[in-house]
Amino acid sequence: MDLTVFLAVLAAAVMHASWNVLVKLELDRFLSLLLIQTLMGGAGLLMLLAFPLPAAASIPYAVASGLLHLGYNLFLARSYRTGDLSQVYPIARGAAPLLTLAVTWAVMHEDVSLMSAAGVALLVAGIWAVSLIGRRGLRLDGLTLFFAIGTSVFIAAYTIVDGLGGRASGQPSSYTGMVFVFDAVFLAATALALRGPGVVGQVAPYWRTGVTGAALSVGAYWIAIWAMTQAPIASVAALRETSILVVMLLSARVLKETVSPARLAGAALIVAGAMLIRFA
């Protein structure tokens, strides 16, 4: 992977992790996602105005991405209703790169070197080690596990769709903006249908904090879509999950969490996997 792309994806991982650790919204998970996604939709409109429009061939990909992101948001919110963040997050994020690798290699026949595949495997192993090893009381009921795994399927699906859409668009930046708009419209319509117009008043007081989270999310996914036009989709998908490592470091620094030897070993696996992807 080219050094510029590699560093850009690492920057995206830092942005993604930073918003998850530092941005605190006193809303349930669904409303938090609604607020962030709505603000991202506004950013998407600005991106469509600022950059040349994407090719028409990429519009179906953007629509599909919006629907897949809707499924992701609904499944993720449902997972967190009955499962802890520390248990649901690694399942959702850790399984997705493997699914992405399998589909891009077996179905799309994207060229993935043995070193890249090994890097993805090491990185995913590190994610699971950092997130789960040494934790007591690891319990997920069958329904929560279903939604957590379903979340990972949606992540893999929208990653592949957006990688293909970004390539078909000829303009990854405006394609990203279009995706943000569709994501916002679909989630807002669903929120109004499920919870009524009162959701507007519930999320409005938190817009200032939401702007920070939306800005970081916009930067993170904008970079990811651009990177997938420059490098194999599976490699980018795996590398951006180094956000788990950033979360661990920020939690130790900001939240004063203890970093165990097992988590340090997992961190080493993540770094080793990232290096294999970089030099593949």
Q: What is the pLDDT of residues 125-184, one digit of tens each?
A: 888 777 666 555 555 567 777 888 888 899 999 999 999 999 999 999 999 999 999 999
pLDDT of 56 above 80: yes
CB neighbour class for 36 (10 Å; exposed up to 12, middle 13-18, buried from 19)? buried
- As given in the structure block, the two tokens for residue 7 are 């560093």
- As given in the structure block, the two tokens for residue 64 are 């599909």
Q: For residue 119, what are the contacts with CB-CB under 8 A and spacing of at least 6? A: 235, 238, 272, 273, 274, 275, 276, 277, 280
d(CA 135, CA 152): 21
Q: Which residue has the higher pLDDT, 41 or 22?
A: 41
Alpha helices in 51-140 (DSSP H): 59-82, 85-106, 114-132
| Average pLDDT estimate for 199-214 | 90
Q: In the prediction, which pLDDT does 145 show?
A: 79
Domain containing 174 equals 3-279
d(CA 62, CA 60): 5
User: For residue 269, how many C-alpha atoms fall within 13 Å in the half-sphere facing its CB?
Assistant: 22
Q: For residue 229, what are the contacts with CB-CB under 8 A and spacing of at least 6? A: 163, 166, 167, 172
| % of the chain at pLDDT higher than 90 | 45
pLDDT of 211 above 60: yes
Torsion 73-203-224-64 (CA) sign: positive
Count of domains for the chain: 1
| Average pLDDT estimate for 32-50 | 95
